[in-house]
Amino acid sequence: INNLNRITFILLLFCLLSCCMYANNSTGQRAAKKYNILIIHSYQFNLEWTKELNRGIEDCFSDHFVQAEFFSIHLDTKRIASKQQHRTKLETGLTSYTNEEIDLIFVCDDSALSNLLELNHPLSQQVPVVFCGVEDLDAARLKQHPNITGITEPFDFSETFLFARRLFPESKKLY
């Protein structure tokens, strides 16, 4: 996650955590509750991107003195091509965590968010959902899910192309 997205992500997380901590406490004192956080990853558990996201999420909670237990679902979309297998894996995972009283769902990357929206599992409608690392977001789909928010990573192809031309001005072909 680049620095700007990391800062935005941390601010969004802090706001969400503040709401969770004070929602059931009319005196405004910090709740002593231990939060159950489900993280849904598009990729496998040992991918460096996945490890960095987990570390960032866990650090953000601990930096704000919020006790949390983390659960994960890894869709493994880099190695498993079948969208049906992704949905089956996600549905099985969500169903298995239904009794854990999940307080928050983090969704990491496009494939995980797309599968979550398509699956329309009851847990994803009852719990706040925060996504990150999403490049291709259909905002109209989110209007049906008021409990979902997050950070997009818009990709500027023309700016990237111009930057590549400045880096390699002699190049005749750009791949």
| pLDDT given for residue 26 in this prediction | 44
pLDDT-flagged residues of the chain (< 50): 1, 22-29
**Whole-structure pTM value:** 0.70
- Please write the tens of the pLDDT for every residue from 27-38: 444 556 889 999
> Distance (Å, rounded) from C-alpha 33 to C-alpha 127?
16
Beta strands across the sheet bearing 104-108: 68-74, 35-41, 104-108, 129-134, 148-152
**Tell me, what DSSP letter sits at residue 30?**
P
User: Which residues neighbour 156 within 8 Å (Cβ) at sequence distance 6 or greater?
Assistant: none
| pLDDT given for residue 6 in this prediction | 58
| pLDDT given for residue 28 in this prediction | 47
Beta strand segments in 1-147, E? 35-41, 68-74, 104-108, 129-134
| pLDDT given for residue 27 in this prediction | 45
Q: Which residue is it, tokens 């601990």?
A: 62
- Please write the tens of the pLDDT for every residue from 122-156: 888 889 999 988 887 777 877 888 888 888 877 77
| pLDDT given for residue 87 in this prediction | 84
